[in-house]
């Protein structure tokens, strides 16, 4: 089997170790004998987006996101069609915000988004920073995702969310939702190497991508994930021990 | 005596009291006495300003402490009386503490300043010289993005023209300061030093003027190198630069170009990043009017304590302690390790306390793939986020049977020192002092 991962603007959208996700996807597929190709899509080298099985869009600094907008907007329709056709898509932080209609910055300026999905993001007072633990709404086990978030923008939407915030802020720090799920697209504020401590999510992405490509049910072979889950549970325990209020009560199934 | 003066002396007095108290107890008194003083007198720094005839501030992401120590030695060995925060406590509290320890009148204040709080310290101390080393991603959870940091520093300098800026011409971020109207001195390295180039994260390879991709003739260290853009943006012309350098027999042999003259000196600390520290401090020395030969002697004989890169000898093997705090610096250290032909062992320590940065995502921008197939016989991961390091190494495909997880720092140090091999110990900031202490303790008890 083969898998093509399209990394969008790795040279511009590369804040906070985002490329860790590509490393994790590539290795986990390769370790299972799947042939993986990573295509770097940049302003100078526009790869054929339609060849991709997985698209990754990370976050960048404001300046870098501004720089690329005039470029990515040309591919808006292709991206939208692919998402409608169930392409597996992972968008993180700034990349997630970019999929919406607009971003309202701290000065009230409306910065245009790709309008692939109908939601918006607005800057509000204070940045939402810290470790985050969520209960995920996907058919994966364990049910938790751990990560780190750091964003000034608050996102409001009516789609299905990636999960509920147990500790942390999530989409906006108000409604206890985190991220977005639309068909096979996942958007999230869990930035950086999200998949490294959440190998179950990485496998879900690989599995969905293969199923879409080969149009059949796929059962991924098991890998030894001892180290990954050691990191997952270590930080999860820490987050649970840290002070502060829980957003939702803990259900028993959260524990291993 | 007016109220402001009383407040100042009260702050100084209580700060000193706390300092001596902590000293007696053997506590690390590098910031807390200053914190007390600033609490009592928030204008404490403004008020110590006139105690210095001239003030030099060093800021940027990497190289601050080494550069600051170099400048301090240049100034003091040239006969001036100076005060500096040589141990790297570079927030307002650290600078205040430095003064509390030795309140007096000085020719020079030589302070390194954390890039995130630079605008505030700048306003308080109104320096005469500002040295900017480089900008890399470092602790973004505290400071936001590099652009913001650069713009804030630039904004704070903009309104006053009296400062002389000493700038790294090889960093496109730093050369953004070119349009300030201050007098500017540029330094850099005019040649590619390490031929074995490996792919590394480049912070910004986009032109700050027009946004197009910057072209590079070569890189020396992350995004530092010879760059140019179609719009005309390029490295500013050097005032002082390293024309060539070679590392052999455990030191750098450096050729500096100073106008038409050539200067040859040595420096005992490895890594290309140290070449930048040397040439920036050299430039400061020249701006201060110190003659070339003295600078040559001072730099060639330079050494300093503290784990920016500290060498110990334990049971006949070199044990090297190096602070790591961001991808650019970490990659440099890994290069140094890779270039070392000895059989060796590594202790990697990752903490996520506030001073380290609570977000450890940055380790995924470090190219641990570099040490995948190297002659390293064992790697121990330690610290509050040891597991994250372990996962990172797993995905760099470093053989897992070489790696040991040991969260307890004390045990990790004991374990790594028990190896009969050259040792590299790489802690993040809050693990540095503790590691150093533990090594010293072992040295005393051991042989």
Q: How many domains does chain B have?
A: 2
- Looking at the structure, tell me whether residues B335 and B242 fall in a common domain: no
Please tell me the distance from the alpha carbon of residue B66 to that of residue B76, in angstroms, as a whole number. Answer: 15
Which residues from B are below 8 Å from A12, CB to CB? 206
User: What confidence tens digit (pLDDT) does each residue in A69-111 have?
Assistant: 999 999 999 999 999 999 999 999 999 999 999 999 888 889 8
Summarize the confidence of residues A53-63 as an average pLDDT: 88
Geometric angle at alpha carbon A202, from A85 and B362, rounded to 5°:
120
Whole-angstrom CA distances from B264 to B134, B240, B253, B299, B365 are 24, 13, 7, 11, 36
A134 contacts A142 by C-beta, under 8 angstroms: no
Q: Name the residue among A218, A219, A25, A120 with its Cα closest to residue B395.
A: A25
Residue A251 DSSP label? P
Q: What's the confidence (pLDDT) of residue A253?
A: 36
Whether A234 and chain B come into contact, CB under 8 Å, resolves to: yes
Taking all residues of chain B, what is their mean pLDDT, rounded to a whole number?
A: 90
Q: Are residues B321 and B277 in the same domain?
A: no
* Same domain for B271 and B194: yes
Which residue in the set B144, B211, B395 is minimally distant from A24, CB to CB?
B395
Task: Name the CA radius of gyration of chain B, rounded.
Answer: 22
Of B280, B300, B320, the residue at which a domain comes to its end is B300
Backbone φ and ψ of A78, nearest 5°: -60, -45
Inter-chain CB pairs, A–B, below 8 Å? 92
Residue B159 lies in a domain: yes
Percent of chain B with pLDDT over 70: 95
Q: Provide the 10 A C-beta neighbour count for residue B156.
A: 16
Confidence of residue B222 (pLDDT cuts 50, 70, 90): confident
Rg for chain A (alpha carbons), in Å? 17
Give the tens place of pLDDT for each residue, A154-201.
Answer: 999 999 999 999 999 999 999 999 999 999 999 999 998 999 999 999
Out of B300, B333, B351, pick the residue that ends a domain.
B300
Q: How far is CA B385 from the centre of its chain?
A: 23
Q: Is A40 on the interface with B (CB under 8 A)?
A: no
**Token pair 């999960």: residue:** A163
pLDDT tens, position by position, B135-182: 987 655 555 678 888 999 999 998 777 899 999 999 999 999 998 999
Q: Which of these is catalytic: A151, A157, A191, A200?
A: A191
Instruction: Look up the domain containing B126 and give its range.
Output: 3-300
Q: What is the CATH number of domain A2-254?
A: 3.40.50.880
User: Is B305 domain-assigned?
Assistant: no
Contact B206 A12 (CB under 8 A): yes
Q: Which of B266, B300, B334 is the last residue of a domain?
A: B300
CA B86 to chain centre: 11
The token pair at B39 is 């609490």
Q: Is B140 helix (H, G, I), strand (E, B) or coil?
A: helix
Alpha-carbon gap, residue B427 to B325, rounded angstroms: 8
Treating both helix axes as pointing N-terminal to C-terminal, what angle do B92-101 and B3-25 enclose, rounded to 10 degrees? 80
Specify whether B289 is located in the same domain as B324: no
Residue whose tokens read 């199923």? A211
Q: Are residues B70 and B172 in the same domain?
A: yes
pLDDT higher than threshold 70 for residue B306: no
Q: Residue A256: pLDDT above 50? A: no
CATH classification of the domain holding B85: 3.40.1190.10
Q: Do A17 and B361 touch (CB under 8 A)?
A: yes
Summarised one tens digit per residue, pLDDT across range B350-363 is 999 887 888 999 99
- Enumerate residues 253 to 292 of chain B having a beta carbon within 8 A of any beta carbon in chain A: none
B74/B139 same-domain check: yes
The contacts of residue A187 (CB under 8 Å, 6+ apart) are A91, A92, A95, A96, A99, A162, A179, A180
Q: CA B447, CA B202: separation in Å to the nearest integer?
A: 44
- Annotation marks residue A200 as catalytic: no
ipTM over 0.90: yes
Q: Which residues of B290-319 are buried (b: 16+ CB within 10 A; e: fewer)?
A: bebeebbebbbebebebbbbbebebeebbb
Does residue B164 sit in the same domain as residue B94?
Answer: yes
Question: What is the CATH number for B355?
Answer: 3.90.190.20
Task: Give the pLDDT band (50/70/90) at residue B303.
Answer: confident
Indicate whether B75 and B102 sit together in one domain: yes
The structural domains of chain A, with segments of one domain joined by +, span 2-254
CA end-to-end distance (rounded Å), chain B: 57
User: Is residue B282 located within the same domain as residue B415?
Assistant: no
Considering the domain architecture, whether residues B121 and B225 belong to the same structural domain is answered as: yes
Residues B251, B351: one domain?
A: no
Over B273-326, what HEC string results? HHHHHHHHHHHHHHHCCCCHHHHHHHHHCCCCCCCCCEEEEECCEEEEECCCCC
Cβ–Cβ gap B400/A131 under 8 Å: no
Instruction: Work out the burial of residue B172: count CB atoms within 10 Å of its CB; fewer than 13 is exposed, 13-18 middle, 19 or more buried.
Output: buried
Q: How many H-runs (helices) and E-runs (strands) does chain A carry?
A: 6, 12
CA atoms of B303 and B309, how far apart (whole Å):
10
pLDDT confidence tier of residue B79, bands split at 50, 70 and 90: very high
* Residue A233 burial (C-beta neighbours within 10 Å; 0-12, 13-18, 19+): middle
Cα–Cα separations (whole angstroms), residue B366 to A23, A206, B87, B158: 12, 25, 26, 34
Same structural domain for residues B389 and B261? no
Tokens coding B438: 């533990």
């Amino acid at each position: 089997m083969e898998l093509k991962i399209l990394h969008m603007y790795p040279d511009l959208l590369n804040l906070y170790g985002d490329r860790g996700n590509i490393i994790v996807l590539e290795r986990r597929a390769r370790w299972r004998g799947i042939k993986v190709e990573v295509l770097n899509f940049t302003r100078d080298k526009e790869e054929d987006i339609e060849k991709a099985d997985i698209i990754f869009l990370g976050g960048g600094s404001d300046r870098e996101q501004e720089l690329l907008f005039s470029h990515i907007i040309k591919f808006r329709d292709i991206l939208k069609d692919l998402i409608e056709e169930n392409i597996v898509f992972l968008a993180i932080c700034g990349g997630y915000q970019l999929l919406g209609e607009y971003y309202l910055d701290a000065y009230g300026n409306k910065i245009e988004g790709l309008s692939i999905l109908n939601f918006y993001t607005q800057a509000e007072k204070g940045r939402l920073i810290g470790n985050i633990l969520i209960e995920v709404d996907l058919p994966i086990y364990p049910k938790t995702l751990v990560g780190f978030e750091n964003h000034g923008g608050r996102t409001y939407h009516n789609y299905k969310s990636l999960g509920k915030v147990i500790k942390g802020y999530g989409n906006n720090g108000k409604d206890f939702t985190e991220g977005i799920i639309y068909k096979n697209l996942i958007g999230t504020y869990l930035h950086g190497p999200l998949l490294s401590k959440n190998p179950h999510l990485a496998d879900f992405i690989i599995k969905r991508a293969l199923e879409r490509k080969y149009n059949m049910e796929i059962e991924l072979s098991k890998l030894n994930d001892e180290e990954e889950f050691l990191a997952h549970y270590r930080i999860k325990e820490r987050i649970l021990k840290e002070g502060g209020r829980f957003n939702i009560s803990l259900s028993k199934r959260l524990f291993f | 005596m007016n109220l402001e003066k009383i407040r100042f002396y009260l702050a100084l007095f209580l700060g000193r009291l706390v300092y001596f108290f902590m000293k007696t107890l053997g506590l690390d008194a590098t910031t807390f006495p200053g914190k007390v003083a600033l609490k009592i007198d928030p204008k404490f720094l403004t008020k110590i300003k006139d105690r210095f005839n001239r003030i030099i501030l060093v800021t940027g992401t990497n190289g601050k402490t080494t550069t600051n120590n170099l400048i301090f030695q240049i100034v003091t060995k040239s006969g001036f009386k100076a005060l500096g925060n040589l141990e790297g406590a570079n927030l307002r509290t650290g600078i205040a503490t430095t003064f509390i320890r030795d309140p007096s009148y000085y020719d020079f204040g030589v302070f390194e300043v954390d890039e995130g709080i630079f605008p505030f310290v700048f306003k308080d101390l109104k320096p005469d010289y500002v040295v900017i080393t480089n900008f890399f991603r470092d602790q973004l959870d505290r400071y936001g993005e590099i652009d913001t940091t650069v713009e804030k520093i630039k904004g704070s300098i903009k309104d006053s023209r009296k400062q002389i800026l000493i700038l790294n011409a090889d960093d496109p971020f730093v050369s953004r300061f070119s349009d300030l109207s201050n007098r500017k001195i540029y330094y850099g390295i005019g040649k590619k030093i390490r031929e074995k180039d490996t792919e590394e994260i480049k912070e910004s390879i986009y032109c700050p003027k027009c946004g197009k991709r910057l072209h590079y003739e070569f890189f020396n260290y992350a995004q530092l190198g010879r760059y140019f853009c179609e719009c005309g943006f390029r490295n500013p012309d050097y005032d002082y630069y390293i024309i060539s350098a070679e590392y052999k027999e455990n030191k750098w042999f450096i050729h500096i170009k100073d106008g038409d003259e050539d200067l040859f000196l040595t420096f005992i600390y490895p890594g290309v990043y140290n070449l930048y520290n040397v040439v920036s401090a050299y430039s400061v020395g020249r701006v201060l009017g110190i003659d070339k030969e003295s600078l040559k002697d001072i730099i060639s004989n330079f050494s300093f304590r503290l784990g920016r890169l500290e060498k110990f000898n334990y049971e006949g093997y070199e044990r090297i302690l190096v602070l790591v705090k961001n991808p650019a610096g970490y990659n440099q250290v890994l290069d140094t390790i890779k270039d070392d032909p000895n059989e060796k062992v590594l202790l990697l320590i990752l903490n996520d306390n506030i001073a380290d940065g609570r977000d450890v995502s940055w380790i995924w921008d470090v190219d641990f793939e570099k040490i995948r197939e190297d002659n390293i016989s064992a790697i121990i991961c330690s610290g509050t986020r040891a597991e994250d390091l372990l996962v990172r190494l797993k995905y760099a495909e470093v053989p897992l049977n070489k790696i040991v997880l040991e969260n307890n720092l004390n045990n990790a140090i004991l374990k790594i020192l028990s190896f009969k091999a050259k040792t590299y110990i790489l802690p993040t900031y809050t693990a540095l002092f503790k590691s150093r202490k533990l090594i010293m303790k072992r040295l005393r008890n051991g042989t």
